[in-house]
Structure 1
C-alpha cells in the first residue's frame, strides 16, 4: 500500500474538516430558510384573506349579491393560453386563488382556480392542505363573520416548491462550486506552507559527507526550528564520533605496525639461522614482540571500551578502596620487577561511590604503570586516597624525572611519550586516565612532586556521579 504524501494528506484533511463544518451548516441553514418561507407564505395567505374581508365589508354584501344575480361571480384567469399572466416564465395567477361563501354555503365570489373547491365546514378555520384537480393546495380559511360569510385563500404547493428549489440551488451551488476552488486554494496554501520542509529535504539530500556546516533555512517556521537544531546537534555528534573512529583506526594501524614488523623480522631470523644460540635469541625476541603486541592491543581495546563506557552499561555502586586493592594485587608482579618502592596509604574504611568500576580500575592501573615506568631503579612511588565533602582525592606521586609544566598538557594526547621514559609504554596510559576521569566528572591535575623532583598526579572524583558526559 503506497503511503500518501504529507501534502495530499493535509489537503484532504483540511477539505474534510471544511466539509464536516460547511455541509451540516448548509443543511441547517436550508431547513431554517424553508421554514421561514413556509411561515411567510402562510402569513401572505392570511393577509390576503383579511384584505379581501375588509374590501367586502367596505363594498357591502348586498351589493355583491345584487350584482351577481342568481349565479356566483367567477374571477377569470387571463393570459397566455388561459393559464394566467406570464411573469418571468411563471403563471403566478393560476397558482393562487380565493373564495367567498355565504352562510348558506353558496359561493358568492371565487377565482377560476378554486371554483371547484368543496364548501367549507365549520372545522375548516385556519390552515389545511387539500387536493384540487392535479395540484395540492395550501388553504387558509377565516372564521365566519357576523353574517356567516366565510373567506378562503389558497396557494398551490408547486409554487412553494419552485421557491424551495431556488433556495436549494442557492445554498448548494456555492458549496458545490466553491469546494473545488477551495481545494485548489488549500493545495496552494499547503504547498507554500511546506516549502521550508522541502528546502530542508533538498539541503539534506545535497549535503556533503563529512560536512560540519550547520543547516540553515531562511525564515524557518517556529515548528521547524527545533528539528533543524536537533539535526545540527546530531550531525555534530556523528561527525565527532566518526572523527574519533577514523583517528583511532589510524592510530591502531600506526601503533601495531612496529611490533608486527619486529615479530616478522624475528621469525625470519629463526628461519635464516641454524645456530641454536642465534635461534634462541631470535625466538626470545619474537616472544617479546608478541608480548608487546598483545600489551598494545590490550591498551587499545581498553581505550575503545572507555570511549563507549557511558553507553555500554549503567553506573553502579562500588568501593574505591576495594578497586585500588584489586589493582595493586594485579600489578604486584610488575611492581616487583620494576625494583621500585611502592607506598600505599588507603583509608581503613570503604569509600563508596557510583560509577564504572572497570573505568576506575583502568584509571588507577595506568597511573601506577606510568609512575613505575618513569622512576629509575630504587625510586619511590606513593599511592594515597582520602575523601572529604563528597569528593574522593587520589594522589600518585613519584620521584622520577618529572614533566616540565609547559609539556604537561600534551601528555594526555594519544601515543604521546615523554623522552627518558622506560619500559614498553605506548603513550596511551594518560589518555585512558583522562577518558576514565571524564566518565566520572573528575578533575586531573599534574603537579610538582613533594619529593623534590618527579610528578604528582591528583585526581578528584565526585562520590556520586550525576550524569555521564557526552561522547
Structure 2
C-alpha cells in the first residue's frame, strides 16, 4: 500500500470536495441558465408577435394585403453599413414572421418562413417544427379583433450558439479554476501544517532526558491537546528513565557487598583443607546467598511499586487475610529474631479497595522492620481496625524507637538506623511509603504504647 503524506491527503481531499460541490453547482447553474435563455427567447418571440399586432392594428389587414405573392415577402438580410459594427450574434436569417387572415391566406411573411403552411385551428402559443432543414420555435397569436393570425419563429441555431457559449464559459472556468484552486489549496495546506513542522523541529532539537515542556508560539487550538498529551508522555518517559537509572545504581550499590562476601566464602572453602573450616565458609556463603536473594526481592518490589507496572486494578481485599498470609510467610524470620508477634483485629475481615501486592509488601516490611529493631524476647504488635472513614494498620514495638527529629528521614531510600539488629537495607519504609501513596493513605510515626519503641500508623481511606 502506497503511503501518502498528510499534506497530500488534505490537498486531494479538499480538491475532491470542491469538485464534488462545484460540478453539480455548475450543472445546475447551466441548466438554470438555459431555462432562462429559453424563457427569454420565447418571450422575445411573443413580444415580436404582439409588436406586429400593434402595427397591424394601426394599418389594418386590408392595407397590408399586396398584389402578388412577391409583394408579400419581406427581406431578411439587413444591408450592412460601413459604419455599423455587427454583433457576433446576427439573427436576421434565423428569425422571421408570418401574417395570415382568418381564412388562412398569407398576407405578409419573411422569406425564410414563407413556405410554412398556415397554422391550424388548434395552433396557439408555442410549438416546435422542422422546416427547410432547420428546427424552428414558433409562436402563434390570433387577433380576432383585426382578423389576423400572427406567427413568429426563431431557428434553434441561435439558441445553440448561446448553448455553446455557455458550455465554453462554464467549462473554461472549471478547467482554469480547478488547477488554480489546486495550487492555492496546496499552498494553504502547507501553510496550515506549518505548526507540525515547528513541532517536528522542536522534537528533533530536544536534548536527551530534558524535562522542559514543548511550547509552540501561537499553536492552533486543535494542536494544543496534542502538545499537552505529548508533554505528559515525555514527562512520564523521563520519570521512567530516571527510575531505571536509579534502580540500576541501587542494584549495583546494594549487590556489590554481598557478592564480594559470597566470593570470599567460596574462595575460603576451596582453599582450605580443613573440613570444618570449609563447612563454616560454605554456611557463610549460603547465608549470604539468602541475604542476597532477599535484597534482590526488596529491590524488585520497590521498583515495581514505583512504576506501578505490576499492580492489578483496584479490587476489594480482605486485609485480615492478607495479614495472616504475611505472618505465615515471615514465621522463620520471627523465630530467628526471638521476638513475640501479636495480632489484634476488630472483626474477622477488614475490607479495603486496593492492590493486594502493595498491601502485602506494606505489611511485610512493617513487621520485618519492627522485628529488626526489637531485642531478643521483645514484642511486636500488629493491629487492624476500621471506623466509618478509615481502615487503620498499626505496628508497635518495644525497641529503642526513633527520636522525633529523625523520624522524617527514615523514609529515604537506603536510610538505616544505627539501632537496627541484623542486616537491613534501608528500603523497607520506602516500600511502605510508596504502597501507602498508591492507596491515598497517610503514615504517622508515633510513640509506642509499650513505653518505649515506635508505633507506625497507616490510615487508608475507606471507599464510599
Q: TM-score over 0.5 for the alignment?
A: yes
Corresponding residue number in structure 2 for 1:17: 17
Deviation of the 1:217 alpha carbon: 0.9
Cα distance change of structure 1 residues 351 and 137 upon mapping to structure 2, 3 Å threshold: same
For residues 126-150 of structure 1, the C-alpha deviation after alignment (integer angstroms, 9 at most, x for no partner) is: 2222222232211222225356432
Deviation of the 1:263 alpha carbon: 0.7
Corresponding residue number in structure 2 for 1:235: 234
CA contact 1:72–1:107 (8 Å) conserved in 2: no
Question: 1:91-170 maps to which residues of 2 (within 5 A)?
Answer: 91-143=90-142, 145-146=144-145, 148-170=147-169
Cα distance change of structure 1 residues 70 and 203 upon mapping to structure 2, 3 Å threshold: closer
Cα distance change of structure 1 residues 330 and 48 upon mapping to structure 2, 3 Å threshold: closer
Corresponding residue number in structure 2 for 1:182: 181
For residues 263-316 of structure 1, the C-alpha deviation after alignment (integer angstroms, 9 at most, x for no partner) is: 111111122221233323322222222222122122223323434556532333
Cα distance change of structure 1 residues 115 and 255 upon mapping to structure 2, 3 Å threshold: same
Deviation of the 1:78 alpha carbon: 4.0
Question: 1:315-394 maps to which residues of 2 (within 5 A)?
Answer: 315-394=314-393
Corresponding residue number in structure 2 for 1:226: 225
Equivalents in 1 of 2:53, 2:155: separation in Å?
Answer: 21
Corresponding residue number in structure 2 for 1:469: none
TM-score (norm 1): 0.90
Equivalents in 2 of 1:53, 1:321: separation in Å?
Answer: 114
Corresponding residue number in structure 1 for 2:56: 56
Deviation of the 1:249 alpha carbon: 1.5
TM-score (norm 2): 0.91
CA contact 2:384–2:394 (8 Å) conserved in 1: yes
Residue 405 (structure 1) aligned with residue 404 (structure 2): yes
Equivalents in 1 of 2:85, 2:112: separation in Å?
Answer: 16
Structure 2: gaps (5+ residues) = none
Deviation of the 1:107 alpha carbon: 2.7
Equivalents in 2 of 1:400, 1:322: separation in Å?
Answer: 27
Cα distance change of structure 1 residues 100 and 246 upon mapping to structure 2, 3 Å threshold: same
Corresponding residue number in structure 1 for 2:41: 41
For residues 385-426 of structure 1, the C-alpha deviation after alignment (integer angstroms, 9 at most, x for no partner) is: 222124122222223222222322222222221123111211
Cα distance change of structure 1 residues 53 and 265 upon mapping to structure 2, 3 Å threshold: same
Deviation of the 1:206 alpha carbon: 3.1
Cα distance change of structure 1 residues 80 and 427 upon mapping to structure 2, 3 Å threshold: same
CA contact 2:388–2:462 (8 Å) conserved in 1: no
Equivalents in 2 of 1:86, 1:74: separation in Å?
Answer: 27
Cα distance change of structure 1 residues 276 and 88 upon mapping to structure 2, 3 Å threshold: same
CA contact 1:100–1:107 (8 Å) conserved in 2: yes
Deviation of the 1:237 alpha carbon: 1.1
For residues 172-215 of structure 1, the C-alpha deviation after alignment (integer angstroms, 9 at most, x for no partner) is: 33233222222222222222221112221232233232111101
For residues 347-379 of structure 1, the C-alpha deviation after alignment (integer angstroms, 9 at most, x for no partner) is: 353222232333222222211211121122343
Deviation of the 1:236 alpha carbon: 0.9
CA contact 1:344–1:382 (8 Å) conserved in 2: yes
| Most deviating of 311-320 and 186-195 | 311-320
Equivalents in 2 of 1:139, 1:344: separation in Å?
Answer: 114
DSSP 3-state at the match of 1:312: coil
For residues 151-192 of structure 1, the C-alpha deviation after alignment (integer angstroms, 9 at most, x for no partner) is: 221111101211222233333332332222222222222222
Corresponding residue number in structure 2 for 1:425: 424
Cα distance change of structure 1 residues 447 and 59 upon mapping to structure 2, 3 Å threshold: same
CA contact 1:86–1:92 (8 Å) conserved in 2: no
CA contact 1:11–1:186 (8 Å) conserved in 2: yes
CA contact 2:311–2:355 (8 Å) conserved in 1: no
Equivalents in 2 of 1:169, 1:72: separation in Å?
Answer: 43
Residue 77 (structure 1) aligned with residue 76 (structure 2): yes
Cα distance change of structure 1 residues 2 and 202 upon mapping to structure 2, 3 Å threshold: farther
Cα distance change of structure 1 residues 112 and 443 upon mapping to structure 2, 3 Å threshold: same
